[in-house]
Amino acid sequence: MNTQQTATRALTRLSLAIAITLPVGLAGCDRAEQVHAPPAGTPEALDFALESRVNDTIVPSIEAFADSAQALDQASEAFCEHPVTDTLEDARSAWNEASARWNRAVIYNFGPLNDDIFAPKIHSIESMRQRGIDYSAKVRHEIERQLAADGTLDTAHFDALRHDQTGLLPVEILLFESTADGHPQAAEAVVEDFHDHPRKCDYLLGVTERLANDAGYVEAGWTHAFKDTETPYRELFLAGELDQGGRPLAVLLVSVQDHLDYLQRRKLEGMQDARLAGRFYDNATATIEEIETLVGGEHGLLAEAEARGHTETATAIRKALDRAVRAAANEDRKALTTQVDLLWKLFRERLPDALGVELGLNFSDGD
């Protein structure tokens, strides 16, 4: 990596850090002002539950993913400065963390994560999310083509890549396997491959920087300014000022059920991802635990459902979440599929009614 590239990467990290840290104090002030929860079962209590979910669960999850993407970029840079097995394992661990954090944040597929009809960030970060297509072979081909080429691998090159060449997948392939015949995964083989192909580090740092920038864009949209406004999406969402209309809680519930449908149909019944890193079930656990955090808590959505006389629905969701976590821990694909399907039905058919939320025609098919 040359001096100009190093300087550009440092400036990019600095500008992202400034953009995403400015509003932290404001969010903290908002939470401090919410001292007493309204009486359970009232419209005010439901608004309070949603606001607390945004401030205490959704925004922190988005921030944690952005932080992990930055850490992955930095760990990759450290590996390229000193390519040995120890620094490779550090970079691999950083990928594992970013992947888990993504599988929490991805359930919030609205606002900054999906604000461009042609190129939403959700597809740039997880290419499989668009159609359930595994682009591994295509990514491998492009990596090998670029390693044999002599064109400049600068920021402009990676900014111009299609969604099927960006995000977590190319980083996984670069860090967890060699380009040699048979694609060996042993750390020693992967390190040797980087030594044999100096451009491989340029490619790795290009895709990790693109990933960090995309994650930073989503975080800045939630906490600093959404699109061409000067207002954080957090504030717009809670005020109900949404691009495509709809009530905020309805948008949130549809997004969760949409992802559950995707997890079931595209991954559990289709092609599992994160296979090289062996992290599919860890990532599924992260998703289920994020949903558990989202709806749980003393003044959470399930507590509101119970206060409105829907204890049976709340109990069914808690049991399904617990069973899904246990199925993932046991890597029991059939049992996990059953529980994810049940959760999708509960979020689609029963929880909205329990909370008095009209979803309208917002259902998605999980693509």
Element (H, E) at 203: helix 199-223
Say how many CA atoms lie within 13 Å of 345 toward its Cβ.
8
d(CA 219, CA 226): 10
Q: What is the model's pTM?
A: 0.90
pLDDT score at 131:
84
For residue 229, give both structure tokens.
């406004």
Give the span between the Cα atoms of 170 and 84, in whole angstroms. 20
CA distances to 36, 124, 276, 342 from 129, rounded to whole Å, are: 40, 9, 18, 21
Could you tell me which residues come within 8 angstroms of residue 224 by beta carbon, excluding any fewer than 6 positions away? 19, 20, 22, 23, 232
Tell me the C-alpha to C-alpha distance, in Å, between residue 256 and each of 29, 246, 253, 268, 335.
28, 15, 5, 16, 20
pLDDT number for residue 10: 52
- Residue 361's pLDDT is 59
Angle at 73 between CA 68 and CA 78, to 5 degrees: 120
pLDDT of residue 42: 96
Which H or E run contains 303?
A: helix 301-307
pLDDT at 245: 74
Question: DSSP secondary-structure letter at 298?
Answer: T
- Nearest CA to 258 among 335, 167, 347, 327? 347
| CA proximity to 294, closest of 331, 256, 328, 245 | 256
Which segments in the chain show pLDDT lower than 70?
A: 1-35, 361-367
- Is 103:57 a contact under the CB 8 Å cutoff? no
| pLDDT tens readout for residues 82-110 | 999 999 999 999 999 999 999 999 999 99
pLDDT at position 365: 41
With a CB cutoff of 8 Å and minimum separation 6, the contacts of 54 are: 234, 237, 238
The Cα 287–Cα 219 span in angstroms is 19
Return the structure tokens found at 197.
């192909």
